[in-house]
Amino acid sequence: MKKILSVFLAALLLAVSLAAPSFAMTQTEWDAYLSSEADADDGIIIQPGADGTQKNFSWYAPAETEQVAVLLSTSPDLAGARAFPGKTIRTYQGDKAAKVTVTDLRPGVTYYYACQTDGVNSDVYSFSTAAADRFSALYVTDIHVSETEDPAELSRTALKFNEVVTQAQTKADLSYILSAGDQASSGLRSEYVAMTAGQAQKSLTFALTMGNHDRKGVDYKYFKNLPNESVKFVSDYQTGDYWFAQNDVLFLFLDSNSGSGADHRAAMKAAVRSHPNARWRVAVMHHDLYSSAIPHRESETKLMRLLWSPLFDEFNIDLALLGHSHYYSVTNVLYNGKGTMAVENGGTVTNAPGTVYMVSTSLTRPRGEEPAFSDKVAIGLTEDLTRTLYNIVDFSKNAITVRTYDFGTGELFASYTLEKTDDFSPKTINLFRKIMGFISAAIGTVYAWFNNFHVYSNLKEKGYDVDLMDAVNNNFLSEGETVC
């Protein structure tokens, strides 16, 4: 009787919350929602496909699972659904994770889907593909969904993320979430599952990159389903760089935990070659490069700038969306680490000769100390540091506009626009910098190989039963590969 009553209450709370999707849930409603989620919905995430016509799906499935598929239809009741079969990989916990790619998606269409595990369907969810001429994304970083000794913390941090996504959906018709790392504080499966539990998260394409905290566990490796995942020389234990295109934008998601410059260079080159006519190039990675907000990290960051600055210049990255420092900052346009054009709050930069580097606040872990921003920072958060900011990025053929909102008030905090005219021509890196970039990249690759031993010993210390060659070799999972 007690169980029936609790299921009824959970269903009632869910119905109330679904009736008003733009309103945030209370903690009690959220907890009831989480506990009511069916096993068939465990860990469902939509990730980018290779381009706007594809999406990659992932979810968890029992160990004995034989067949998985995504059912896709333009009708809410899944009438006439097309079934896209997929594959499974063995997870660290011994059950399976389903990996499915759906194809032939048309722009500006709402699709309904269910994830099917051996004939058992999840709930029906929906997503809308981007329009052919414009789309918007939510850019956040350092979500830090956290499982700690306090059991309430996991739910609290996941709810905060759910609230941010829900509020962001009132500011734009979102297609993507761009997340610059530290999605999870300890890299635990429970953290990733809680992060993606909300209805809103299952309706958006979630493009994420690995942060140093995601690297504390092993579950990022099994949770993701990434397109064009690349490794040539030395991979990180869990992931490689990857890329995808949407309309006029080429997105490069780079794993800055890995110092392997030769791998990063190879991935960026392949990405640019695969989409030579993309008008915009947007990089997303974890480490803050130019804000200098945290003085004691500057020696490490200087080394990272040696590695990344030549790459960002050589491949003409327009906008870099970063994280790690947890301090909101937007730089002026930089090339070779020097300012080439000013960025102003509310302003427009036309034909930027270089890259704008941006960092947003952590969604759940604000810093307490005042940031020591460098003079490269054009817009920064320096007061009321406990505020949570999030960002709507609007993409069209000729412009990228970033609008930053204060989560507490819902008010606009800052904005800027990058614009390109038809006669725009990007800068060309000079030969000396290119050679220096090659040298830095090669040194980084040697360092990365040795650093993987360090990652391996850290995982062993934490009690993970991982294999040495998995940790030091190019042994991250690719789609369809089964690793026990």
Enumerate binding residues for Fe ion (CB under 5 A). 142, 182
Q: What whole-number distance in Å separates Cα of residue 428 and Cα of residue 264?
A: 19
Burial class (CB in 10 A: 0-12, 13-18, 19+), 211: buried
Question: CB 184 → Fe ion: shortest distance, Å?
Answer: 10
Residue nearest to Fe ion (CB): 182
Q: What whole-number distance in Å separates Cα of residue 76 and Cα of residue 89?
A: 29
Order of strands, sheet of 377-380, starting from the edge strand that comes earlier in the sequence: 242-246, 249-253, 280-287, 319-323, 356-359, 329-331, 377-380
Name the token pair of 92.
């660290």
Question: CB 219 → Fe ion: shortest distance, Å?
Answer: 17
Burial class (CB in 10 A: 0-12, 13-18, 19+), 162: buried
Question: CB 186 → Fe ion: shortest distance, Å?
Answer: 12
Question: CB 213 → Fe ion: shortest distance, Å?
Answer: 6
Return the number of the residue (41 or 142) whose C-beta is nearest Fe ion.
142
Reported as type and span, the H/E element at residue 436 is helix 431-461
Return the number of the residue (112 or 327) whose C-beta is nearest Fe ion.
327
Return the number of the residue (324 or 420) whose C-beta is nearest Fe ion.
324
Return the number of the residue (214 or 470) whose C-beta is nearest Fe ion.
214
Q: What whole-number distance in Å separates Cα of residue 154 and Cα of residue 419?
A: 40
Question: CB 195 → Fe ion: shortest distance, Å?
Answer: 14
SS (H, E, C) 114-164: EEEECCEECCCEEEECCCCCEEEEEEEECCCECCCCCHHHHHHHHHHHHHH
List beta partners, residue 85.
69
Return the number of the residue (140 or 393) whose C-beta is nearest Fe ion.
140
DSSP three-state, residue 71: strand
Return the number of the residue (142 or 191) whose C-beta is nearest Fe ion.
142
Return the number of the residue (94 or 368) whose C-beta is nearest Fe ion.
368
Beta strand 249-253 pairing with 280-287: parallel
**DSSP label of 50:** S
Name the token pair of 35.
């506990």
Question: CB 428 → Fe ion: shortest distance, Å?
Answer: 35
Q: What whole-number distance in Å separates Cα of residue 368 and Cα of residue 48?
A: 35
Name the token pair of 310.
């030549």
List beta partners, residue 321.
284, 358
Return the number of the residue (245 or 363) whose C-beta is nearest Fe ion.
363
Return the number of the residue (142 or 255) whose C-beta is nearest Fe ion.
142
Question: CB 182 → Fe ion: shortest distance, Å?
Answer: 4
Residue among 104, 97, 98, 42 nearest 69 (CA): 98
Return the number of the residue (178 or 477) whose C-beta is nearest Fe ion.
178
Return the number of the residue (197 or 322) whose C-beta is nearest Fe ion.
322
Beta strand 125-128 pairing with 110-117: antiparallel
Question: CB 167 → Fe ion: shortest distance, Å?
Answer: 21
Question: CB 324 → Fe ion: shortest distance, Å?
Answer: 6
Return the number of the residue (96 or 215) whose C-beta is nearest Fe ion.
215
Question: CB 185 → Fe ion: shortest distance, Å?
Answer: 8
Question: CB 96 → Fe ion: shortest distance, Å?
Answer: 30
Question: CB 142 → Fe ion: shortest distance, Å?
Answer: 4
Reported as type and span, the H/E element at residue 261 is helix 261-274
- 27-36 and 2-19 are packed helices; what angle lies between their axes, rounded to 10 degrees? 110
Amino acid at 345: N
Determine the straight-line distance between the first and last CA of the chain, rounded to whole angstroms: 41
